[in-house]
Structures are given as C-alpha cells and as structure tokens.
Amino acid sequence: MYFLFNTQRLVVNVTDLCMLKTKIAHRFREGEGFALATLNLDHLVKLSKDEAFLSAYLDQDMVVADGRPIVWLSRLAKRPVALMPGSDLVTPLSKMAAQAEVNVALVGSVEPVLNRAGAALMHWVPGLNITYIKAPSQNFDPTGEEAQKILCEMADQDIGLCFVALGAPKQERFAQLGRQLAPHVGFASIGAGLDFVAGHQNRAPLWVRHLAMEWLWRMLGSPMRLAPRYARCFAVLPGQVLRAFRLRATPRLPLDPVQDKT
C-alpha cells in the first residue's frame, strides 16, 4: 500500500506483525539499526503540508499502519495491511529486545512517566535491559544540538532499541537523524505508547477499540485539542478514498526499494 505526495511515493512496507518481527529480528542479529514509523490519518494530513516531515517519513526503514482508516484504505486499494498501532508494539518489541539481549532506551515524554514505564516494562518482560532514559527539554528540536547529544550518548552506550515518544513529526525527524548519528540503534516511534504503559494516560477499553471508536474515546477526553485534528482528518478522507479506488484498478508495483531495506 502506498500514498502519493506530489511525485513522492510513501509505502506502507510492512504488512503484518509477523513480517515486522522477522525484519526486526534480522536487524538485532546483525547489529543493524532501523527506523520504524506508524502511519495514521493525522500523519497523512501533516505529510501533505510539511516537507521536512515527508522527508523524515521517506527515510524510515519500516512503515506500518497505525490507524483503521489506513487499513480500510489499503483494503479498498486491494493492497491490504494489518493494523499495528504503535502503542501495541511496545511490549512485543520489548520481548524481542530481551531475547536478543540488546540494550533499550526510552526517549520522550517526561522523566516520571519514563521511569514508571521503564519499571513496568522490566516487570512485564523478564530480561529486558533498559539502560538509558531521557526526557528532552520542553522546546526540543529533533535535529538540534540536544538531539545530537542524546543520539551520541545512545551510540556510546550500545543501545539496540530506542522507543521514541515525542509525537509526530518530532519523533520521525529524530529517528531520521538517528539513522545517521547512531546507525546501530533501532528507533521505534510509538507516540503515547509509554504514557499508556506508565498509566499516565488511559487507553480506550478493548471493546471500544474493537468497534473502531478509539478516536471518539480520545476526543471526548480532550475535545479542545483533538476535535480540530479529527476534523482535518475527516476532511481528507474522501480524497484518499478516491485515490484508493484508483489504485485498486492499477497493477501492483514492488515495494519502494528505498523503504524496503531489510
């Protein structure tokens, strides 16, 4: 499944959890880094207006569908991909890191949340080794001096997996820089995933998620912040549906080799 931005083709190049685990296990074995992004409808809105964000997304090694609209669009286009929310990937990736015996970092959010999330993950995942925790400053620039220092510290400490909880577009741009300055680190951009682990935010109940209504649950909890965001998302849906139907009628193309690097 792919999305077009002018002449650029953004590919959702990991179709299910099994494929993702295979790719990441390979990276861990070879001591190779990676950047994993979780695409949702809000990201599509931002990608159409933010060239730096689009550049960061195009440099991600792996892109998964983090949002049911992305999954539904993929089915309309006859290029189906599975739903893989970033929040749901924290525990599976932690288990893989523990099994591969790679050091783990938590970057983003605020320090109390990171400490609680780290303690919870090490309790849930025997053998998990979280060796680096960093909450950046409030006005954090994902490509600035502070970001460069964090990345150099992680490279020096032999980090193999970094959960990046900075929100879009900062987390993807931080991972993009990280692929240059800390090439052996795997960056997983997981948004509010660590806040959920720490109990700082309450995720929608499972039955709400099964009804594909998690967005409404979140909006009711923070209407002033999220209502405008979801309005922008709904506004782009008709155009995306039309593009999906057009894609449905076109021959399948191979995954973009730039984005399918494993």
The string of DSSP letters for 48-94 reads TT-HHHHHHHHT-SEEEE-SHHHHHHHHHTT----B--HHHHHHHHH
Domains of the chain: total: 1
Report d(CA 45, CA 6) in Å as an integer: 14
Q: What is this structure's pTM?
A: 0.89
Nearest to 11 by CA among 190, 193, 252: 252
The answer to whether residue 3 is domain-embedded is: no
Identity of residue 45: V
Structure tokens at 109: 């959010």
Residue 157 is predicted with a pLDDT of: 95
Q: What are phi and psi of 46, to 5 degrees?
A: -70, -35
Radius of gyration, alpha carbons of the chain: 18
Contact 151, 236 (CB under 8 A): no
Paired strand residues for 107: 134, 164
Contact 188, 160 (CB under 8 A): no
Axis-axis angle for helices 86-100, 111-124 (nearest 10): 60
Query: In what helix (H) or strand (E) does residue 142 lie, and over which residues does it extend?
Result: none
Residue 37 is predicted with a pLDDT of: 97
The answer to whether residue 136 is domain-embedded is: yes
The answer to whether residue 259 is domain-embedded is: no
The segments of the chain whose pLDDT lies below 50 read 256-262
Residue 7 is predicted with a pLDDT of: 81
Q: Count of residues for the chain?
A: 262
Residue 249 is predicted with a pLDDT of: 79
Residue 214 is predicted with a pLDDT of: 73
For residue 4, count CB atoms less than 10 angstroms from its CB and return exposed for 0-12, middle for 13-18, buried for 19 or more: exposed
The answer to whether residue 257 is domain-embedded is: no
Report d(CA 97, CA 216) in Å as an integer: 33
Residue 237: domain span: 11-244
Report d(CA 63, CA 129) in Å as an integer: 25
The answer to whether residue 83 is domain-embedded is: yes
The answer to whether residue 46 is domain-embedded is: yes
The answer to whether residue 60 is domain-embedded is: yes
The answer to whether residue 255 is domain-embedded is: no
H helices of the chain, where?
A: 17-30, 41-47, 51-58, 68-76, 86-100, 111-124, 145-156, 170-181, 193-198, 206-210, 214-221, 223-248
